[in-house]
Amino acid sequence: MKLIFMVCEPVERTISYYVHMSLLGWTCTFEQCVFSDSNHQKVDTYNFAVNRSLYITHVTRWLKYFQLEQMHFVNGDEFKRNPVPYIKEVQKFLNLPIMLDENSFGFNRSKGFYCYNSNGIEECMDKDKGRKHPIINERTRKILTEFYKPYNRQFIDFVKQDFKWAV
């Protein structure tokens, strides 16, 4: 068995998950959700939006059942900008012939991301993907960036792959 993980910059991932959960009923502001104190300074590691981006903790759990060699990590931020090299890497990791290449994707300007093209028919992610994110104040972003740095460093060192995140 092989596992494929798509990881994104943790602060953006946290915001994205918050947006998703807000559409499903979360009524807290972003700051109320990600901080455990009323001054919005202490990051709430129990909040699922925050916890999802602590990649090292999740990989460590998976290592109880799988070897690191069975895992492949895709830079989701770069994948959104140019999926082809990452799709090729995944195909190689799975020992598959390269069937998806430059001709398999096209940028959809109205959606703002790449879509799969098959025989002239474009298939894109659902309308709930690519949603606009709220503007997060710089203080909150800075606190979260600093919070994630040691976890990012551990994860990057462990998987031996640089994702270009703050560490």
pLDDT value, residue 125: 75
Q: What is the mean pLDDT of residues 25-41?
A: 92
Which residue segments constitute the domains of the chain, with CATH numbers given? 3-97+137-159 (3.40.50.300)
Q: Residue 21 and residue 166: Cα distance in Å, rounded? A: 25
Provide the pairing of β-strand 3-7 with 71-75.
parallel
Mean pLDDT rounded to a whole number for the chain: 92
The DSSP 8-state label assigned to residue 118 in this structure reads: E
Please answer whether residues 77 and 113 qualify as being in contact, where contact means their C-beta atoms are separated by less than 8 angstroms.
no
pLDDT digits (tens, 9 = 90+) for 87-142: 999 999 999 999 999 999 988 888 788 888 887 788 887 766 667 788 899 999 99
Can you give the pTM of this predicted structure?
0.88
Q: Is the pLDDT of residue 46 over 80?
A: yes
Q: What is the mean pLDDT of residues 29-42?
A: 93
Q: Residue 15 and residue 140: Cα distance in Å, rounded? A: 11
3-state secondary structure of 128: coil
pLDDT value, residue 127: 67
Rg (CA), the chain: 18
